[in-house]
Every structure is written in C-alpha cells, then in structure tokens.
Amino acid sequence: MSTQSRRSLLWGSPILLIVGGMVGSPEAGVAMAALSALCTLPSLLSGTKWVRGAAVLLLLASAALAVALLPAARRGMDAYRGRALTSPSGAARP
C-alpha cells in the first residue's frame, strides 16, 4: 500500500469517529468506530514514527467510542429481538 493511501485512510479515521459520535443510532456508532479502527491499521503496521503515534491515538479513541456505545447498542438489539419474537409472523413490526 502506498504512503498516500495509508495517510488518506488515517485522515478518514477521525471523520468516521466524528460521524460515529454524532449519529443517532448506537449500533451505527459502534459500526463507525469499528471502521475507524480498521482505517488506522495500515498506518499502524507500516507507517513512520509520527504516523504510527497518530494511528495509536485514533485506535484508542475508536475503542473508547465503541466501548461507550456498546451498552446502548446491546439494549437496542435486545429490544429489537424481543419485538421480533413476540410478533405473530416472527418478523419485526415498525
């Protein structure tokens, strides 16, 4: 992977973190945090010293966002599962 691609992914990571923190759905926030963490991996594995440092900080921020949103996402999924199991057809109703 080229240096420019690694840096582009690294710049995309904080954007995904911001979007993940602003979105209303906790499940989507966890997904954005996971995507943000994935964007930091190429720079973390083969970047220069300052790029690796930035990647570590963004990876920690991604993990913190995911951990913060996980309880709310789990409650939302449990509520969805409960609605799906109690509906007569087995499918969730809006």
pLDDT in tens, 43-68: 888 888 888 999 999 999 999 999 99
Any domain includes 91: no
**Is the backbone of residue 24 left (phi > 0), alpha (psi -120 to 50) or beta?**
alpha
Q: Domain residues for 8? A: 3-86
pLDDT value for 46: 85
For residue 37, the number of C-alpha atoms closer than 13 Å in the C-beta half-sphere is 15
Any domain includes 42: yes
Any domain includes 53: yes
Q: In sequence order, what are the residues at sequence separation of 6 or more whose Cβ sits closer than 8 angstroms to the Cβ of residue 39?
A: 9, 10, 12, 13, 16, 58
Domain count of the fold of the chain: 1
pLDDT at 30 over 90: yes
Whether the full predicted model's pTM is greater than 0.95, yes or no, is: no
The token pair that represents 89 in the structure block: 């057809």
